[in-house]
Homo-oligomer: A and B are copies of this chain.
Amino acid sequence: MSEHGTEVQDVTEVPDDARGLVPAASGCGCGGGGCHGEDADGHQHGYITAKDNYQRRLRRIEGQARGLQRMVDEEKYCIDILTQISAMTKALQSVALELLEDHMAHCVVAAAREGGAAAEEKMQEASEAIARLVRS
């Protein structure tokens, strides 16, 4: 693997059509289906765009994980490895914060409108996810 000049940009090229095969109706468990940003026709154009964006960032994060293995293999300087880990942690955090924002703007809003115990549960669940992020 040593022919790679840089460590953190090794991104697996998942073929684009592989993702299209996933049935769009698999749902997010939110109830009401609002979570994926469907428009009035039940299409998910907005979501598909976001999904590609998440996949691209997660493939890059996967590449960073492989880059770290290569750095350890090649016995790179510890501090340089730590720098890459910090960058990777920030990239992960950034994905998490965006997912959470999407979740709140869609699922949480939808649940709040429906009200009742389900809404309370969604809020509780979101709060717990936030606490895990803040503490990790």
Interface residues of A (CB under 8 A from B): 1-2, 14, 18-19, 22, 24, 26-30, 35-36, 51, 54-55, 58-59, 61-62, 64-66, 68-69, 72-83, 85-90, 92-93, 95-97, 99-105, 107-109, 112-113, 115, 119-120, 123-127, 129-136
Contact (Cβ within 8 A) A74 B26: yes
Copy count, this protein chain:
4
Smallest Cβ-Cβ distance to A119: which chain B residue: B109
* Majority DSSP secondary structure for residues of A touching B: helix
- Given contacts A51-B73, A82-B129, A104-B123, could you give 19 more A-B pairs where the C-beta distance is less than 8 Å? A22-B75, A55-B69, A55-B72, A59-B65, A59-B69, A64-B65, A68-B95, A78-B103, A79-B103, A79-B126, A86-B129, A87-B136, A89-B89, A97-B134, A100-B127, A105-B120, A109-B123, A130-B133, A134-B134
Q: Which residues of chain B come closer than 8 Å to A58, judged between CB atoms?
A: 65, 68-69, 72
